[in-house]
């Protein structure tokens, strides 16, 4: 028992090395939150959101003023009651006095209730508007924005940062305002009642500051270290859990368990010290509170004997000192929340300030239907003004032709398709569709003429049916099934539980990568577009399955201008025209036979490969 009591004091203090976080590969310690850079500007913008409910907001502020005032009045009236009615003879009617006190209490409850209720409505409506604005804005941003940033980072702005602003608006905003008012009011009334007692009460303030400094100096590095250890542990858990298959198959459970224990111990130690020391703060506050209580009671008592102050004044002081350290404590807490919320809001606004996709020119037209004649005239393009990703590309695709894009990774194949769908616009040259410059066509209209099967097939949370139907929202169930049959997806769909109504999770778990691509192809088939873009649509589909869906794809491409990025010769050979790209340049174009006849890069690629094959088999 005695031993157990000493246990807490036996933990070794962790030694915190400077720059310890910089060792390569030690997990992802969470970075300390950046402070807001443009404090006033951000605050102004939050205000502009809040200002949409200006009238209500002013009412809230008015209520805060009332409730803070009434909060001061309550204890004061009690002090008065003691002095005038209980100690003294009492002049006016006691009943009337009690009635007015009752009214003070009633209105205090009423005003603080109203201010909270109204503020919550304002705050939540504001958050709703910010959230939907931000979301709509994201859909107007150019694709290059998403290339530049990590998805997790954008995600955290939309979720954590907004949540942060939300909770601050809910409570902290009012609390800060009322804390300041209460503080000023308390000090004012205290000074007015007894300057000497006020001064004595304030003795504890410097003590408080000193104590806080002592504590935060020690806890700051400890918390940072704990955060780092926590990040390290998170990284370790994530890694070992996603590598579980390996750990199981290689029976390495003991190894990861001991690795985990090591990290767990580190967290425990830093966590212990951080928590123990930071736990002093409320105790310090409490202790000093008790101290000032004692001072007021003791000194006030002596003064009362001399007759300088009344018992009522002491009572008021006793209650005020309690009321005075509380807002001080609140302020310190709320201030940090406020700062981090403003930093969060700033990160949200940063996204909103990102430039949107260039607006469609005023004269931009919508297309009713297209033939599908595509021309690239000397098109060059570079990302963010860097080296040219595509240079001087010229070619033509006649309506209904199948164009295959061939070339090594980084040759610019996907970029070329990005230009065609106006994710980006060319720096030089022009692209025409049916003889019309595509920049004069509304983006949405242009894109609705094409169906895409993208490299990374993406599924939404929802049923298989809904996922296919995403290609055309008004498609009937029969049409969905017909598309799935064409894509050769029908048979696997029927074999999984639930069939077309099987719910898929966002990461598409439960079906394989190849099956996802089949669904994506079905989606494109359903869209029934004039033009078709397949960006490595069959890369994760094995040869056997590809053979099976080849017919479906051929049927789909028939009569539609199609652009196909593919690896396999089978697919490539079927193309009407093959574009051979290398380092952003169009090296060769023509049919398979023409290109083989020409010699050059294409036949080198094919021949080189053949020799390798021959040497191996």
Which range in 12-20, 195-203, 364-372, 505-513 contacts another protein by CB under 8 A?
Answer: 505-513
Residue 307, classified by CB atoms within 10 Å of its CB into exposed (0-12), middle (13-18) or buried (19+), is exposed
**Which residue is it, tokens 């033509």?**
396
Q: Is 5 in the site for another protein (CB under 8 A)?
A: yes
Does the footprint of another protein cover residue 359 (CB under 8 A)?
Answer: no
* Residues in region 239-298 near another protein by CB under 8 A: 239-253, 255-257, 260-261, 264-265, 267-268, 271-273, 275-277, 279-280, 282-284, 286-287, 290-291, 293-295, 297-298
CB of 187 to another protein, least distance (A): 19
Q: Is 439 in the site for another protein (CB under 8 A)?
A: no
- 102 touches another protein (CB under 8 A): yes
Residue 554 binds another protein (CB under 8 A): no
Q: Is 350 in the site for another protein (CB under 8 A)?
A: no
Which one of the spans 3-11, 42-50, 181-189, 432-440 is the region binding another protein (CB under 8 A)? 3-11
Least distance (Å) between residue 40 CB and another protein: 28
Question: Do 451 and 532 meet the contact criterion of CB atoms below 8 Å apart?
Answer: yes
Backbone angles phi, psi at 390, to 5 degrees: -130, 140
Query: C-beta of 305: minimal distance to another protein in Å?
Result: 5
Closest contact distance (angstroms) between CB of 124 and another protein is 5
Q: CB-based burial of residue 494 (10 Å sphere; 0-12 exposed, 13-18 middle, 19+ buried)?
A: exposed
Selected from 471, 475, 557, 586, the binder of another protein by CB under 8 A is 471
Smallest gap from residue 191 Cβ to another protein (A) = 22
* 431 versus 566: smaller Cβ distance to another protein: 566
Q: Segment 9-48, which members bind another protein (CB under 8 A)? A: 9, 11, 24-28
For the purposes of burial, counting CB atoms within 10 Å of the CB of 376, is it exposed (0-12), middle (13-18) or buried (19 or more)?
Answer: buried
Q: State which of positions 201-220 bind another protein (CB under 8 A).
A: none
DSSP annotation string for 145-214: HHHHS-HHHHHHIIIIIHHHHHHIIIIIHHHHHHHHHHHHHHHHHHHHH-HHHHHHHHTHHHHHHHHHHH
Q: Are 429 and 377 in contact (CB under 8 A)?
A: yes
Number of residues that bind another protein (CB under 8 A): 178
48-53: list long-range contacts, CB under 8 Å, 24+ apart: 49/126, 49/129, 49/130, 50/122, 50/126, 50/169, 52/125, 52/126, 52/129, 53/121, 53/122, 53/125, 53/126
Residues listed for the chain:
617
**Rounded-to-integer distance, Cα 554 and Cα 371, Å:** 19
306-325: contacts with another protein (CB under 8 A) = 311, 314-315, 318-319, 322
Assess contact for 72 and 189: CB atoms under 8 A: yes
Q: Is 476 in the site for another protein (CB under 8 A)?
A: no
CB of 81 to another protein, least distance (A): 6
**Shortest separation between residue 82's beta carbon and another protein, angstroms:** 7
Q: Is residue 362 at the binding interface for another protein, with CB under 8 A as the rule?
A: no
| Nearest of 86, 303, 327 to residue 184 by alpha carbon | 327
**In the complex with another protein, which residue's Cβ is closer, 35 or 261?**
261
Q: Is 514 in the site for another protein (CB under 8 A)?
A: yes
Which residue's CB is nearer to another protein, number 399 or number 514? Answer: 514
Residue 281 near residue 333, CB atoms below 8 Å: no
572, 575, 579, 586: which one binds another protein (CB under 8 A): 572
> Within 106-165, which residues bind another protein (CB under 8 A)?
106, 108-110, 112-113, 116-117, 120-121, 124-125, 127-128, 131-132, 135-136, 138-140, 143, 146, 151, 154-155, 158-159, 163
Give Cα 478 distance to the centre of its chain: 39
- Cα separation values, 319 from 76, 186, 315, 530, Å: 9, 10, 6, 79
Site for another protein in 52-81 (CB under 8 A): 74-75, 78, 81
Instruction: Kindly state whether residue 87 participates in binding another protein, applying the rule CB under 8 A.
Output: yes
Residue 167 Cβ vs another protein, minimum distance, rounded to whole Å? 10
CA 11 to chain centre: 38
Whose Cβ is closer to another protein: residue 353's or residue 613's? 613
Residue 82 in contact with another protein, rule: CB under 8 A: yes
Binding mask 581-610 for another protein (x = CB under 8 A): ------------------------xx-xxx
610, with CB counted inside 10 A (0-12, 13-18, 19+), is exposed
- The CA distances from residue 428 to 124, 377, 388, 391, 431, in Å, are 47, 9, 11, 9, 10
Of 385-414, binders to another protein (CB under 8 A) are 406-409
**Is residue 581 helix, strand or coil?**
strand
User: 406 — phi, psi (to 5°)?
Assistant: -125, 145
Least distance from C-beta 602 to another protein, angstroms?
A: 8
Compare residues 80 and 345 and give the one whose CB is closer to another protein: 80
Distance in Å, CB of 156 to another protein, minimum: 10
Q: Which CB, 42 or 515, lies closer to another protein? A: 515
HEC readout, 413-433:
HHHHHHHHCCCCCCCEEEEEE
Q: Rounded to the nearest whole angstrom, what is the least distance from the CB of residue 92 to another protein in the complex?
A: 14
Distances (CA, A) of 97 to 71, 108, 110, 219, 311: 17, 16, 20, 50, 19
């Amino acid at each position: 028992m005695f031993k157990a009591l000493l246990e807490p004091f036996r933990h070794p203090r962790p030694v915190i090395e400077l720059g310890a976080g910089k060792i390569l590969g030690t997990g992802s310690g969470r970075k300390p939150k950046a402070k807001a850079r443009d404090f006033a500007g951000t605050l102004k913008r939050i205000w502009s959101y809040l200002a949409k409910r200006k009238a209500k907001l002013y009412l809230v502020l008015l209520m805060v003023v009332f409730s803070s005032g009434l909060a001061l009045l309550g204890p004061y009236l009690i002090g008065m009651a003691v002095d005038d009615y209980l100690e003294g003879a009492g002049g006016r009617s006691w009943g009337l006095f009690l009635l007015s006190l009752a009214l003070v209490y009633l209105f205090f409850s009423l005003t603080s209730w109203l201010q909270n209720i109204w503020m919550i409505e304002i705050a939540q409506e504001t958050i709703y508007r910010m959230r939907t604005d931000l979301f709509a804005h994201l859909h107007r941003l150019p694709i290059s924005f998403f290339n530049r940033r990590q998805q997790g980072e954008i995600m955290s702005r939309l979720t954590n940062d907004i949540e942060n602003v939300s909770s601050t608006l809910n409570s902290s905003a009012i609390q800060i305002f009322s804390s300041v008012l209460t503080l000023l009011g308390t000090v004012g009334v205290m000074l007015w009642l007894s300057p000497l007692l006020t001064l004595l009460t304030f003795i504890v303030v410097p003590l408080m500051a000193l104590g806080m400094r002592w504590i935060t100096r020690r806890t700051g590095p400890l918390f940072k270290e704990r955060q780092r250890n926590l990040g390290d542990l998170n990284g370790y858990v994530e890694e070992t859990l996603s590598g579980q298959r390996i750990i199981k198959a290689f029976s390495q459970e003991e190894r990861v368990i001991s690795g985990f224990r090591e990290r767990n111990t580190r967290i425990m130690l830093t966590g212990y010290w951080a928590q123990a020391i930071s736990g002093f703060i409320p105790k310090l506050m409490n202790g000093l509170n008790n101290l000032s209580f004692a001072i007021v009671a003791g000194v006030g008592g002596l003064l009362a004997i001399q007759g300088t102050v009344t018992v009522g004044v002491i009572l008021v002081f006793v209650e005020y000192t309690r009321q005075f350290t509380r807002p001080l404590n609140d302020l310190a807490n709320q201030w940090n929340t406020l700062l981090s919320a403003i930093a969060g809001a700033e990160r949200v606004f940063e996204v909103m300030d990102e430039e949107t996709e260039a607006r469609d020119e005023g004269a931009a037209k919508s297309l009713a239907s297209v033939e599908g004649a595509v021309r690239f005239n000397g098109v060059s393009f570079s990302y963010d003004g860097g080296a040219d990703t595509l240079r001087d590309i010229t070619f033509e695709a006649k309506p209904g032709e199948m164009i295959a894009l061939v070339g090594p990774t980084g040759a610019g194949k996907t970029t070329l398709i990005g230009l065609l769908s106006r994710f980006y616009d060319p720096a030089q040259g022009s692209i025409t569709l049916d003889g019309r410059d595509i920049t004069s066509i509304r983006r949405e209209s242009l894109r609705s003429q094409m169906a895409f099967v993208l490299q990374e097939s993406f599924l939404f949370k929802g049923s298989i049916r809904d996922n296919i139907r995403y290609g055309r929202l008004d498609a009937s169930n029969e049409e969905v099934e017909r598309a799935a049959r064409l894509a050769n997806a029908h048979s696997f769909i029927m074999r999984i539980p639930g069939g077309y109504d099987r719910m898929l999770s966002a990461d598409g778990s439960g079906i394989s990568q190849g099956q996802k691509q089949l669904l994506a192809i079905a989606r494109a088939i359903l869209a029934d577009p004039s033009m078709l873009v397949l960006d490595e649509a069959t890369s994760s589909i094995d040869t056997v399955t590809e053979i099976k869906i080849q017919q479906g794809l051929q049927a789909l491409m028939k009569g539609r201008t199609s652009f196909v990025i593919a690896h396999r010769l089978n697919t490539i050979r079927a193309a009407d025209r093959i574009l051979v790209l290398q380092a952003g340049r169009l090296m060769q174009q023509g049919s398979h036979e023409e290109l083989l006849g020409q010699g050059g890069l294409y036949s080198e690629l094919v021949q080189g490969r053949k020799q390798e094959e021959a040497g191996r088999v």
